[in-house]
Amino acid sequence: MDKNIINQYPQQFSGGPYWLGINIGPGWMPIVAHVCQEIQNMLSEDDLRKFHWIQIKEKWGRLTMYWGPKHQVIISAVCPEGIVEFESVATDGNQDEDMKADLSPAIRERILEIITRAQERASKTCEYCGAEGSIRSWPHISLLCEICNQLTK
Ligand SMILES: [Zn+2]
């Protein structure tokens, strides 16, 4: 299913500084697909050329989405305490004009809103089956429903 998302929104998954893949369970795939759709609808053609996913993964039972324009990586993660972390990492490399192009602060803000809504939705959704779930701390931190939690023990 991750291939479907990548094939559906190829611009969002290509041309960035690097791409580390989608590493989440099937229960969260519809949430991620919805984020990609919202971003596709919101961004202009010009902004779409500047937006790239870096990595989409599960971290501490949370949906974590790394993204950025071509010349830097914005890390948008939610810690176990529910604090959203932002980190901007400059990447070296190409200095052509296109690589220096950046998204406007207003557009970045709207992208973060879309991602935050998805992270809130994922925080109540079983990563494996999509049913209502919650954070489980054993045997490792994960977000599961009761049934999947029993199956993984
Ligand atoms: Zn489940």
Measure 115 CA to ligand 1 centroid, in angstroms. 22
The answer to whether the pTM exceeds 0.85 is no
Measure 32 CA to ligand 1 centroid, in angstroms. 17
Mean pLDDT, range 95-116, rounded to an integer: 75
Quote the domain boundaries for residue 24.
2-122
Tokens (6 digits) for 144: 């599961």
Measure 134 CA to ligand 1 centroid, in angstroms. 10
Residue 144 lies in a domain: no
Measure 124 CA to ligand 1 centroid, in angstroms. 11
Tokens (6 digits) for 136: 């489980």
Measure 79 CA to ligand 1 centroid, in angstroms. 22
Residue 49 lies in a domain: yes
CA distances from 99 to 15, 90, 91, 133 (A): 10, 12, 10, 41
Task: Encode pLDDT of 50-93 as tens digits.
Answer: 888 888 999 889 898 888 764 444 554 544 444 444 444 444 44
Residue 135 lies in a domain: no
Count the domains in the chain. Answer: 1
